[in-house]
Chain A
Amino acid sequence: MRILVVEDEFKTADYLRKGLSESGYLVEVALNGLDGQHLIQESEFDLIILDVMLPGIDGWQLLQIVRRRAQTPVLFLTARDAVEDRVKGLELGADDYLVKPFSYAELLARVRTLLRRGPPREVEQFKVADLEMDLLRRRVSRNGERLTLTNKEFALLHLLLSREGEVLSRAQIASQVWQMNFDSDTNVVDVAIRRLRAKVDDPFQPKLIHTVRGMGYLLEVPE
């Protein structure tokens, strides 16, 4: 998968390149609009990450150039999250946007979603190690033992399972499980994870829910 990053702030561009490369993507970086335009016209990409504020040709113009050629997914980055900016970007054909400063986990999640072509498949059953979830019957069991979860614990575990191996930030979890789309200065997510662990992980081996310090949580079978 080839990703083009057009970003004039060198440090941002650099860590995006490193991070996305580590996640297995082929990354090209353009540090200004002109180079970006050149790369867009010369080669094919599966995803373009565009900064809006660029010297020379700005992100909006590049977006139009991209749209004239192909339906390559575009994720735009903006420092100003004024409503008009977002609306403008989406109207011009961007597929998603992120407001700076954004968390890297969030960016990675968006990139994955955009690259996952077509609608996400409806999975009805999950199985990770000996943990099983049946969505239709709303049942969770581990090591064959049925677990009793509250609605929100179920929703939280479902989120972690459907993004297995992906780090989810606290904000993402709060937004997806409780529709809390703002920062509420509480450790609600940590508490909820702790309680979920008490039921799902504490009595069993191996541990599946992991804390990634400074980033969030993920569910995976430890290597």
Chain B
Amino acid sequence: MSLMPRSLSLRLALMFALVGTLLLGAIGFYLYQSLEREIAWRDDQALLGRLERMRALLDDSDSIEALRERPQLYANMLGNRDNLLWVLGSGGQPLIEINPARLAIPHLPLDHDPQLDDLNTEARLAWMHIARPGGALTLIAGRLLAEREQMLAAYRMKLWLALATGALLAFLLGWLVSERGLRPVRQLTRRALAIDAQHLHLRIEDAGELSELRELSNALNQMLARLEAGFSQLSRFSEDLAHEMRTPLGNLMGQTQQALRRVRSLDDYQSLLASNQEEYERLARMINNMLFLARTEQADAVVDVQTIELAEAVDQLGDYFEGIADEHGMRLLNEAAGQVRADPELLRRALANLIANALRYGEAGTSVRVGSETAGDRVVISVTNIGPVIESEHLPRLFDRFYRCDPSRAQPGDSGGLGLAIVRSIMLVHGGEVRVTSDTSGTCFALVFPR
């Protein structure tokens, strides 16, 4: 394809020209062949007729000599430089000869029926052998091929000219037509060009009734929708990130400036520094979580997958959360069994985030149940608590970074809304997913691992 021009309309025009030339050439070749055959056939008929006429003349005349005396009888053959006529005696000697081209007398096989043949490339001959009382005679009528050849050459020339003109016309017309035909594509390009990062909400309008372009513009529109979603998520994320960092920074600046306004007691300074330290830790935690997310979302994230006994892993977490559960008046039930293939550290982190949430939002006096289920090619680990129902509108966005159902419920101890985003990215590196359902019977987060 490298020989083809880069412009589509030029390419189409070239193809049109090629097709046109092929078609015209084929037609021209056919016409030329039929013409040539037709002319040859007519010439042959004329030669045969001439033979017949000569024979009739000979039959009517008393002798050859008499005939020779009256050339006007076959005068229509004279004066024409293309015609040949021989009447040969039995010895092969010419009795009558009309031979303006001065050809040698040809030696021809004897036959009583009229014969036709080419004499080299110079002439076409018809001949016959007739028996007469005064001795056998050979009649030869002929016609030089030069004239016919000339005529056909002129015809060929015209055909070549027509062919060249046709090809050129096909190219030009093809170019015009494809330029015109591709106009909707250029319009599509212009519309697509108008869409940049600031105008991602724009869509390419329907490209008329052209089905091919409609498919293309639909595909482009779908791509734009995905881009817009990703883009707005990204910018919302940056905004949220800035906002989340502003809160601890605001606290730090505010309380430090307030403290510096005048001399304070040692206790005041100490408590200021300690309070600052808490904010720093919050910032550090947020940065670490962000880094963790960025790293797990990289395509080449390293996962150390091992076979894990679920009951054991959950028991370990049960130990960890026992105290908190007690303080909340809740219990942690380990109903998990079986095995799962996962990175132990990451699985523990995901489950710890879910259990911490379940305990944070669960009702006192209820239990948080950690269960497991092996279904087909998946292992599902679920963490269920009983607590306030999460509105269904929040469920799909729960795993977005910094998403909070109730922005006013940000707690100083939490990860700034990154806990569930971390759970999701952990599941993604395992090729699994996280699901959530919530109703009055409980809120259930399910980690779905491939087996």
Per-residue contact bits, chain A 114-145, to B (CB 8 Å; 1 contact, 0 not): 00000000000000000000000000000000
Complex contact B415–A191 (CB within 8 A): no
Least Cβ distance of A182 to chain B in Å? 5
- B residues 274-288 near A (Cβ < 8 Å) are 274-278, 280-281, 284-285, 287-288
The answer to whether B413 and A186 touch across the interface, beta carbons within 8 angstroms, is: yes
A187–B320 CA distance with the chains assembled, in angstroms:
11
In contact, A192 and B323 (Cβ under 8 angstroms): yes
Chain B residue nearest to A83 in the complex (CB): B302
A180 touches B289 (CB 8 A): no
B278 with A214: CB separation less than 8 A:
yes
Known A180-B348, A213-B277, A214-B278; contact A185-B415, beta-carbon cutoff 8 A: yes
Find out whether the CB atom of B273 lies under 8 angstroms from the CB atom of A214.
yes
A188 within 8 A of B: yes
Inter-subunit contact A191/B323 (CB<8 Å): yes
Contact of B415 among A152, A180, A183, A213 (CB under 8 A): A183
Which residue of A has the minimal Cβ distance to B345?
A181
Assess whether B349 is in contact with A182, with CB atoms less than 8 Å apart: yes
B352 interface residue per 8 A CB criterion: yes
B274 touching A185 by the CB < 8 A rule?
Answer: no
- Point out the residues of chain B lying under 8 angstroms from A184, CB to CB: 320, 349, 352-353, 356
On whether the beta carbons of A188 and B323 are closer than 8 Å, the reply is: yes
Residues of A within 8 A of B327 (CB): 191
The residue from B276, B291, B324, B353 contacting A187, defined by CB atoms under 8 A apart: B324
Pairwise interchain contact B316-A186, C-beta atoms closer than 8 A: no
**Chain A, residue nearest B292 (CB):** A182
Contact status A178-B419, CB under 8 Å: no
Residue in A150, A174, A181, A188 whose Cβ sees the most chain B Cβ within 10 Å: A188
Per-position 1/0 for A67-92, Cβ under 8 A of B: 00000000000000101000000000
Chain B's nearest CB lies how many Å from the CB of A223?
17
Interchain CA distance A83-B295 in the complex, whole Å: 11
> Is B403 an interface residue when CB atoms closer than 8 A count as contact?
no
CB pairs A–B below 8 angstroms (26 shown): A83-B302, A101-B284, A150-B322, A152-B322, A174-B320, A178-B316, A180-B320, A180-B348, A181-B345, A182-B292, A182-B349, A184-B320, A184-B349, A184-B356, A185-B356, A185-B414, A186-B356, A186-B359, A187-B413, A192-B323, A213-B274, A213-B277, A214-B273, A214-B274, A214-B278, A215-B277
List residues of A whose CB falls within 8 A of some B CB.
81, 83, 101, 150-152, 174, 178-188, 191-192, 194-195, 213-215
Task: State the B residues within 8 Å of A (CB).
Answer: 270-271, 273-278, 280-281, 284-285, 287-289, 291-292, 302, 316, 319-324, 326-327, 345, 348-349, 352-353, 356, 359, 413-415, 419
